[in-house]
C-alpha cells in the first residue's frame, strides 16, 4: 500500500483571490482558494488550461502577488515580506522547474547548475562539484560541458530538474514538466519526481495530463479559479483515479460552470512591505563609490590572475600559483563584499558575478568588440588631443626655462621709489630664510673700441657665477676670471664689429664707461679712469643687443653704491612664492621665469579645455553606442533576467551583472584608448622629428601625458561605465519575473 502522506503542513494557503486587468476587462482568475500542502507529499494540481493552476503556483512561489489572502511557508507569511526576502526563500527552500526551460546562455550545463549553488554562498569550485553530483542523480552527468540549448527537450527537462535540486530544497514545484516531452521521456521525468518524493521531497506538480494522476499522493481538481475537488490517491483507487477525475471534470463543465463576475466589494488587499527599497542621495553615492572601488580592486587582481594563468599553460609551478591566487582572490572578494557598507551581495561572490559578466559579453564577441573599439577611439581621441596640449606646453616651457631657472628670482628697484637696491638691502635679502645665494648686477652704458671700429654697448657688471647659473649659452671660449681684466661678449656685439666668435677669443678691446653724475660726485674723478682695456675670453649666444659682461669687482672703484638688479637662487622651488612676497614687502619688484611658465600654463589650460570638449563629443557618441548595445543585450536576455529572479537572485545582484558589463567595456576601451592616443601622439612626434632631423634639427616631442592623468582617464572611464549601466540595470531590476519569462 501507499504510504499515508504526513500531516505536517509545510505550505498553508487561505482565501487567495487573484485578478488580472486587461484594458477595461477585470478577470478574476483565483477565487477564495484555500489549501494545505503537507511535508513530503506528492501533490498534483490538475485542470484544463486557463483554470488558474499556474497562477496558484506563482502565488506560492512569491512571484505573483494575490489581491487578497495569506500564503505561509512554515509559518512565514510570504506576502508580507519584501521581494528580496521572498527571493531568499525561493533560492533556499523551493526548487522550480518549468515546462519551457530557460538558461543563462553564456554558461555551460554544469555552470548553469552551479550558479544556483553560488547564489546561496557556495564557492564556484564547490558549487560545480555539487552540480556534477546532482547531474548524476538525473542521469545527465555526461552532458556537463554542453551548452543547454544544444540539448534535446527531454535532456533539458532533466537538467532543469537537476537545477531545482542544487540548493537541496525541501519543496520542488514543477509546472507542466512533461508538456514538451514524448511519452517515454515524460514517464522518465515522472519516475524521477517519484524517486525524489520517496527521498523526502515535497513535490507540487501542475499538469493537465490525467495519465500522471496516479503517481501522486493527492490530486486537486481546479476549474474556473476554484478548487472543485480534492482526492487522496491510494493503492485502491490509483488505477481508477484518472477516470474519476475525468468524469468529475466533465460533470463540472456540463453543469455550465463559468467564471463569476467580480463582486461589488472585492476582498481586502493584503498588506505588503515595499518591494525594492529606494536609496537616498547619500546611499546612492556610497553605493557608487564602493561599487567602483570593488570593480577596480577586482580588475587589478584579474589582470594578475590572467598573467599567472598564461604562464601556467607552460609551467606547472605558475599553474599552481594561479590556482592558489584565485582561491585567495575569492576569499578577499567575499571579505570585501561583507566589509563595505555598500556591499553588492551577501550571498554570491562578487568576483563570480564579474566573471559571469565577462562570459555574457564574450557570447556576443563581435558586437562587444565593435562597442569597445568605439569607446577606445573616443577616449583615444581625447588622450591624443590632451597629449598634444601637454606636449606643446612642455615644449614651450622647456624652450624658455631650465630646471635651475625655476629657482631663480630677479629683483629690481620699483620705479619712482626711494627704496634703493644697495648693500644694506642686499644683506637683508640674503638673510631671508630659503635664499641660497644672491648675485648683484650693475648696468652701465659704454663705448667699445676694437681695432679701428667703435660701437655703443651695454655693460653688465656681474660675478662669473651669474653667467654659469643663467640660461646663457657659452658658444666659444670660457667665462672670465674675476680678478683679471677679462670680459665675455655676446654674438650680437661681434656681429656689430665684424668678427667671428672663434677669432674674437684673446682679442683686446677698450671700454669707455659712461658714468652717471651721481657716480662722478661720489668718486675722485681725477683718480679714476673711465676707459679700460680688457681681453675677450668667451662668447655667449643670446638675442639681446650688444652686451659685454665684465667682473663686478672691477667696477668697485667707480664708487657704485646701488645695484641695477639682484638675482637670487632659492633652495627649494616651493618657497619661491613666499620669498617673493617678503621681498616685495621691502619695496622691490620681482620677476621669475615662473611668471612666464604660469602664462604659458594659463594659455594652454584654455586650449586643453577646448581639446577636451572636442574629445568629449567623440566619447559621447561612443557612449551612446555602448548604451544601445546594453539595451539590445537586455532585450535579448529578458528571459534570463526572469529566470535569475525566479531562482532567487536579488535586485543588487542583477544590477551588478549589467553594470559590470558596462564597466568592463568602458575600462577596456579606456585602457586601449590611452594606448591608442599615446601611439597617435608618438606617431606625430616621430613624423615631425624625421622632418626636423632631415633639416639639421633635433628630435621633437610634441606629445606628453602625465601618468596620473592616464590613470585618471581610466578611472573616469570606469565611472562612466557605471553611470551608463545604471539605466539598463535599473530596467532589469524592475522587470516582473513572470513578465520576463513570458517575453518573446
pLDDT of residue 219: 92
Please, what is the end-to-end C-alpha distance for the chain in angstroms?
46
pLDDT of residue 35: 93
Strand order in the sheet with 42-46: 94-97, 171-175, 202-207, 42-46, 218-223, 226-232
pLDDT of residue 166: 92
pLDDT of residue 113: 93
For the chain, helix, strand, coil in percent to 5 are: 55, 20, 25
Q: Can you give 443-473 as a three-state secondary structure string?
A: EEEEEEEECCEEEEEEEEEECHHHHHHCCCE
The rounded distance, in Å, linking the Cα atoms of 665 and 657 is 13
Residues of the chain with pLDDT under 50: 1-2, 5, 259-274, 340-345, 518
pLDDT of residue 169: 92
Please indicate, yes or no, whether the overall pTM of this predicted structure exceeds 0.85.
no
- Beta-carbon contacts of 69 under 8 Å, excluding residues fewer than 6 positions away, are 13, 14, 15, 16, 17, 33, 79, 267, 270
The burial of 591, by beta-carbon neighbours within 10 Å (0-12 exposed, 13-18 middle, 19 or more buried), is given as middle
The rounded distance, in Å, linking the Cα atoms of 298 and 292 is 10
Q: 149-199, pLDDT tens digit by residue?
A: 888 888 898 999 999 999 999 999 999 888 778 888 888 889 999 999 999
pLDDT of residue 260: 47
Q: Which of 124, 116, 100, 101 is nearest to 168 (CA)?
A: 116
What b/e string do you get for 425-444 counting C-beta neighbours within 10 Å, with b at 16 or more? Answer: bbeebeebeebebbbbbbeb
Considering just the CA atoms, what is the radius of gyration of the chain in Å?
A: 44
Report yes or no: 342 and 351 within 8 Å, Cβ to Cβ.
no
CA dist 82 → 71, 77, 350, 651 (Å): 14, 11, 23, 11
pLDDT of residue 697: 63
Q: Where are the domains of the chain?
A: 9-254, 281-327, 359-401+599-741, 420-586
Q: 596-647, pLDDT tens digit by residue?
A: 777 767 777 777 777 778 777 877 887 888 888 888 888 888 999 999 999 8
| CATH of span 9-254 | 3.40.50.300
Amino acid at each position: 500500500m501507499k504510504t499515508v502522506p504526513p500531516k505536517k503542513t509545510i505550505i498553508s494557503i487561505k482565501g487567495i483571490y487573484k485578478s488580472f486587468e486587461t484594458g477595461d476587462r477585470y478577470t478574476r482568475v483565483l477565487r477564495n482558494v484555500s489549501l494545505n500542502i503537507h511535508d513530503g507529499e506528492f501533490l498534483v494540481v490538475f485542470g484544463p488550461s486557463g483554470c488558474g493552476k499556474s497562477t496558484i503556483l506563482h502565488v506560492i512561489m512569491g512571484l505573483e502577488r494575490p489581491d487578497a489572502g495569506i500564503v505561509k511557508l512554515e509559518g512565514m507569511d510570504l506576502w508580507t515580506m519584501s521581494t528580496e526576502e521572498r527571493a531568499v526563500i525561493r533560492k533556499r527552500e523551493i526548487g522550480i522547474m518549468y515546462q519551457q526551460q530557460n538558461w543563462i546562455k553564456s554558461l555551460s550545463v554544469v555552470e548553469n547548475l552551479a550558479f544556483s549553488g553560488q547564489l546561496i554562498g557556495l564557492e564556484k569550485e564547490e558549487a560545480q562539484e555539487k552540480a556534477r553530483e546532482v547531474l548524476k542523480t538525473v542521469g545527465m552527468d555526461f552532458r556537463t560541458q554542453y551548452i543547454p540549448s544544444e540539448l534535446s527537450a527531454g535532456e533539458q527537462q532533466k537538467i532543469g530538474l537537476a537545477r531545482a535540486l542544487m540548493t537541496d530544497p525541501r519543496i520542488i514545484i514543477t509546472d507542466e514538466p512533461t508538456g514538451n516531452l514524448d511519452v517515454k521521456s515524460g514517464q522518465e521525468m515522472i519516475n524521477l519526481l517519484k524517486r525524489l518524493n520517496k527521498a523526502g521531497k515535497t513535490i507540487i506538480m501542475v499538469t493537465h495530463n490525467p495519465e500522471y494522476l496516479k503517481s501522486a499522493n493527492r490530486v486537486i481538481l481546479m476549474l474556473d479559479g476554484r478548487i472543485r475537488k480534492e482526492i487522496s490517491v491510494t493503492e485502491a483507487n490509483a488505477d481508477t483515479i484518472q477516470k474519476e477525475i475525468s468524469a468529475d471534470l466533465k460533470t463540472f463543465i456540463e453543469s455550465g460552470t463559468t467564471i463569476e463576475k467580480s463582486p461589488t466589494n472585492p476582498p481586502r488587499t493584503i498588506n505588503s512591505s515595499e518591494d525594492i527599497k529606494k536609496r537616498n542621495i547619500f546611499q546612492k553615492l556610497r553605493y557608487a563609490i564602493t561599487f567602483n572601488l570593488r570593480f577596480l580592486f577586482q580588475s587589478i587582481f584579474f589582470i594578475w590572475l590572467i598573467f599567472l594563468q598564461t604562464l601556467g599553460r607552460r609551467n606547472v609551478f605558475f599553474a599552481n600559483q594561479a590556482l592558489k591566487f584565485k582561491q585567495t582572490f575569492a576569499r578577499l572578494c567575499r571579505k570585501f563584499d561583507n566589509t563595505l557598507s555598500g556591499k553588492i551581495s551577501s550571498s554570491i561572490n562578487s568576483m563570480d558575478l564579474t566573471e559571469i559578466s565577462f562570459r555574457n559579453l564574450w557570447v556576443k564577441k563581435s558586437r562587444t568588440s565593435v562597442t569597445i573599439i568605439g569607446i577606445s577611439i573616443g577616449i583615444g581621441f581625447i588622450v591624443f588631443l590632451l597629449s598634444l596640449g601637454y606636449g606643446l606646453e612642455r615644449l614651450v616651457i622647456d624652450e624658455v626655462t631650465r630646471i635651475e631657472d625655476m629657482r631663480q628670482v630677479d629683483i629690481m628697484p620699483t620705479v619712482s621709489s626711494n627704496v634703493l637696491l644697495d648693500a644694506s638691502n642686499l644683506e637683508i635679502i640674503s638673510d631671508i630664510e630659503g635664499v641660497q645665494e644672491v648675485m648683484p648686477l650693475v648696468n652701465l652704458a659704454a663705448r667699445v673700441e676694437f681695432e679701428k671700429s667703435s660701437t655703443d654697448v651695454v655693460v653688465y657688471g656681474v660675478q662669473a657665477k651669474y653667467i654659469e647659473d643663467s640660461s646663457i649659452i657659452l658658444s666659444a671660449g670660457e667665462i672670465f676670471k674675476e680678478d683679471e681684466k677679462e670680459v665675455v661678449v655676446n654674438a650680437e656685439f661681434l656681429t656689430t664689429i665684424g668678427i667671428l666668435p672663434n677669432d674674437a677669443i684673446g682679442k683686446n678691446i677698450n671700454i669707455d664707461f659712461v658714468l652717471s653724475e651721481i657716480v662722478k660726485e661720489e668718486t675722485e674723478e681725477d683718480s679714476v679712469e673711465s676707459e679700460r682695456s680688457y681681453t675677450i675670453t668667451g662668447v655667449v649666444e643670446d638675442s639681446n643687443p650688444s652686451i659685454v659682461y665684465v667682473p663686478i669687482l672691477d667696477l668697485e672703484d667707480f664708487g657704485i653704491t646701488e645695484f641695477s638688479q639682484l638675482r637670487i637662487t632659492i633652495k627649494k622651488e616651493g618657497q619661491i612664492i613666499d620669498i617673493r612676497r617678503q621681498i616685495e614687502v621691502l619695496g622691490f619688484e620681482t620677476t621669475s621665469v615662473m611668471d612666464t611658465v604660469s602664462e604659458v600654463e594659463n594659455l594652454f589650460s584654455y586650449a586643453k579645455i577646448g581639446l577636451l570638449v572636442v574629445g568629449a563629443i567623440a566619447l559621447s557618441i561612443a557612449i551612446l553606442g555602448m548604451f544601445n548595445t546594453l539595451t539590445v543585450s537586455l532585450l535579448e536576455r529578458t528571459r534570463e533576467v526572469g529566470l535569475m529572479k525566479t531562482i532567487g537572485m536579488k535586485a543588487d545582484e542583477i544590477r551588478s551583472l549589467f553594470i559590470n558589463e558596462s564597466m568592463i567595456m568602458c575600462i577596456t576601451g579606456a585602457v586601449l584608448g590611452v594606448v591608442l592616443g599615446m601611439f597617435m601622439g608618438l606617431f606625430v612626434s616621430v613624423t615631425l622629428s624625421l622632418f626636423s632631423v632631415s633639416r639639421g634639427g633635433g628630435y621633437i616631442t610634441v606629445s606628453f601625458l602625465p601618468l596620473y592623468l592616464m590613470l585618471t582617464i581610466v578611472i573616469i572611464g570606469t565611472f562612466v561605465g557605471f553611470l551608463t549601466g545604471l539605466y539598463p540595470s535599473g530596467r532589469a531590476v524592475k522587470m516582473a519575473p513572470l513578465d520576463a519569462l513570458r517575453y518573446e
